[in-house]
């Protein structure tokens, strides 16, 4: 993967934005003494990186933002399980757009890509890991996460589509958007 200085700067900005949105500008709701639901837009930069720059870039933004975020503002002990899900949060939508849905970036394609990624990472893996690590029942974890994702997924798709349409992001900086 060839990476330009400009692209590296975009990805570094998205990492910083993800850390700020996740660690500082989000609302955390504890369930059984563990963070059960986080309301905010911390995943948006990670998903955007995957859709705009490719699955590997999205995965790296997710993993690095989780690692750096932990060292800057830890929320309990470090668990590599959640770094893996952060990687998948950016990787899966990028994979869907670039290889499964053939780089077409209509609103509906972006929505399906984000939906797929969020179902796997946020609705399946994170509750599973919380259950396995801390013993919180899945029946308690999944309903509030499902409600938050019903709101987040369309909002993420709208914001990402708007950002991709913005004229300051040239097609040279962001991968081709042909359908």
Q: Compute φ and ψ for 119, nearest 5 degrees.
A: -65, -45
Half-sphere exposure for 114 (CA within 13 Å, toward CB):
29
Q: Which residues make beta-bridge pairs with 38?
A: 28
- In DSSP notation, the chain reads ----HHHHHHHHHHHHHHHHHHHTS-EEEEETTEEEEEESSTTHHHHHHHHHH-HHHHHHHHHHHHHHHHHHS--SS--HHHHHHHHHHHHHHHHIIIIISTT---HHHHHHHHHHHHIIIIIIIHHHHHHHHH---HHHHHHHHHHHHHHHHHHHHHHHHHHHH-TTS-TTTS-----
**The pLDDT of residue 38:** 75
What is the distance between the alpha carbons of residues 24 and 49, in angstroms, rounded to a whole number? 20
CA-wise closest residue to 156 among 101, 104, 118, 103: 118
pTM over 0.85: yes
Distance CA 98, CA 51 (A): 8
The pLDDT value given to residue 25: 84
Range 5-165 has CATH code 3.30.450.20: no
Q: Where are the domains of the chain?
A: 5-165
pLDDT tens per residue, the chain (179 residues)?
577 899 999 999 999 999 999 888 888 777 766 666 778 899 999 999 999 999 999 999 999 999 999 999 887 889 999 999 999 999 999 999 998 887 778 899 999 999 999 999 999 999 999 999 989 899 988 998 899 899 999 999 999 999 998 744 554 555 555 56
User: Which pLDDT score, from 0 to 100, does residue 178 have?
Assistant: 52
Cα angle value 117/121/127 (rounded, 5°): 150
- Which of 177, 162, 24, 22 has its CA nearest to residue 90? 22
């Amino acid at each position: 993967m060839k990476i330009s200085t400009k692209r590296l700067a975009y990805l570094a900005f998205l990492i910083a934005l993800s850390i700020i949105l996740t660690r500082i500008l989000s609302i955390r709701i504890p369930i059984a003494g563990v963070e059960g639901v986080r309301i905010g837009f911390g995943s948006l930069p990670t998903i955007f990186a995957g859709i705009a720059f490719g699955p590997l870039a999205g995965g790296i933004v997710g993993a690095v933002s989780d690692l750096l975020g932990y060292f800057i503002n830890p929320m309990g002990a470090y668990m590599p399980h959640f770094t893996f899900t952060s990687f998948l949060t950016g990787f899966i939508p990028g994979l869907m757009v670039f290889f499964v849905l053939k780089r077409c970036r209509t609103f509906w394609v972006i929505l399906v890509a984000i939906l797929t990624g969020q179902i796997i990472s946020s609705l399946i893996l994170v509750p599973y890991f919380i259950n396995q690590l801390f013993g919180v029942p899945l029946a308690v974890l999944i309903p509030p996460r499902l409600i938050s994702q019903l709101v987040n997924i369309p909002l993420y798709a709208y914001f990402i589509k708007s950002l991709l349409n913005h004229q300051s992001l040239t097609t040279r900086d962001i991968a081709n958007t042909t359908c």
